[in-house]
Each structure stands twice: as structure tokens, then as C-alpha cells.
Amino acid sequence: LGPTVEALEFRPGPGGFAGLQKNLFRGPSNAFLLGDYVIVLGMTLEKALFNAELLEKCSKAYVLARLSGQRIKQIPLYVRVIANRRLIKDETRAAASYAMGEIPGGFTAY
């Protein structure tokens, strides 16, 4: 999904969609909050669906952790680094496939 799930602002009117598009594609994140909506991206439809399912699982885990009343810890740094490296590797491979006119093949899970 990327390092964070950012909350984006959208202002209707001239240039509103251009600003939103700029924010969606500026970094390595594939999930965003937009008001009451969630935007999930992926290099292929299969990957976008995988990312949506992953975000749902992470959200459920977070809610359960909050309900427990215990302190919530961050995911260990080495796990975040490995996951983000795999994300970047998969996106680079997919971009290269698209550049050659091919549909990207299967991805490994993060």
C-alpha cells in the first residue's frame, strides 16, 4: 500500500481534479482517504483489488487494536522497509512491461 494512507483534500471547481490527480501520483502510496471515500490504486486491476483487500484487513486490525485499550505499536522498521522495497520493485517491473506494450505478469504479495 505504501508508507502511509494519506488524507487528501479535494476542492471542487477549476483545477480541483488536476490538484487531486497530482496528489494521487506524487509518491509511492496506493491508498488514500478522500472525505468519506477511499481511493485504492494498483498497476493492474488484480493489484488494485489486492491492495483494497489488504487495506480492509489492516483497517480491521487497527480497529480491534484500538478497542483492546492497549498501546498500539508501529510495525517494525525492517518489515516496513522490506514491504516498501517489494512495492517499488513490483511497480518498476509493471511500468517496464507497460513500456514494452505488455500486460504485467503476476505479483508477489508484500
How confident is the model over 10-33, as a mean pLDDT? 69
21 belongs to a structural domain: yes
Please report whether residue 104 resides in a domain: no
Domain assignment present for residue 66? The answer is yes
Helices (H), the chain: 16-24, 45-68, 77-99
Question: Which residues span the domain enclosing 45?
Answer: 6-99
Q: Which tens digits make up the pLDDT trace of 46-89? A: 888 888 888 898 889 989 999 999 999 888 888 888 888 888 88
- The type of residue at 2 is G
The total number of structural domains in the chain stands at 1
What does pTM read for this prediction? 0.71
Q: Is residue 94 part of a domain?
A: yes
Phi-psi region of 41 (alpha: psi -120 to 50; beta: other; left: phi over 0): beta
